[in-house]
Each structure stands twice: as C-alpha cells, then as structure tokens.
Homo-oligomer: A and B are copies of this chain.
Amino acid sequence: MQFGRVVGTVWATQKDAKLENLKFLLVEELDARNESRDAFTVAIDAVGAGPGETVLFATGSAARQTIQTDGRPADAVIMAIVDSWDLDGDVVFRKDAEGD
C-alpha cells in the first residue's frame, strides 16, 4: 500500500455497469515523509474518505477485495484513512495535527 491525499473527484456517467454507485477519487501519492511524489492515481473509495484526507490505497487485484469493489473493474482502492504513522521513531503524520 502507499500513502495518498484525496485531492479531487472524478465524474463519469458512461461506464461499465459494474462501476455504478462507486466513487472515484483523485489521490495524490505521498512518500513516507508525507511529501508529494507528484504522481496521481484514480482510486475507488471504500471507506468514505473526504477531500484533503490522508489515506492508504492498494493497487492491482487487491483493489477488488473490499466489500464495495468485489468483482469490479478497478485497479486501485482507498481501503483505510490514516490516523498516524512514524518513521524511525519520529511521528511523520498525525491526523489531528493537520489543520491545527
């Protein structure tokens, strides 16, 4: 899994029938130091992530293992909203600390 930040929404009316009622979010990829990797992925939201939230997303066939995405033609899914992480003993990111 990789870290990401929800930076947008993608709208598509004309799509494979299996994709109805799924939300496509635009995710900016983050490195382990919480900096942008200047790379983006469109992922299905499986956890109710909102704009600006820091998330974990999984790619490949893992993207079809959540309850919402089972059997859907999706190759990326947001499967967790991140509370915090640490790197070599230092807290890199903490949800509450953002926006304070």
Which residues of A does B touch, CB under 8 Å?
1-3, 7-19, 24, 26, 28, 31-32, 40-43, 46-48, 56, 58-67, 69, 71-77, 79-88, 92
Contact = CB atoms under 8 A, between A and B. Distances in A.
Contacts of A66: 16, 18, 73
Contact of A26 (B14, B69, B87): B87
- Oligomeric state, in copies: 5
A60 B1 CA distance: 10
Contact of A65 (B7, B64, B77): B64
A56 B1 contact: no
Contact of A14 (B2, B42, B81): B81
20 contacts: A1-B74, A3-B42, A7-B87, A7-B88, A8-B32, A11-B82, A11-B85, A13-B83, A14-B80, A15-B47, A15-B56, A16-B79, A17-B67, A18-B67, A24-B56, A26-B85, A59-B75, A60-B61, A61-B64, A74-B79
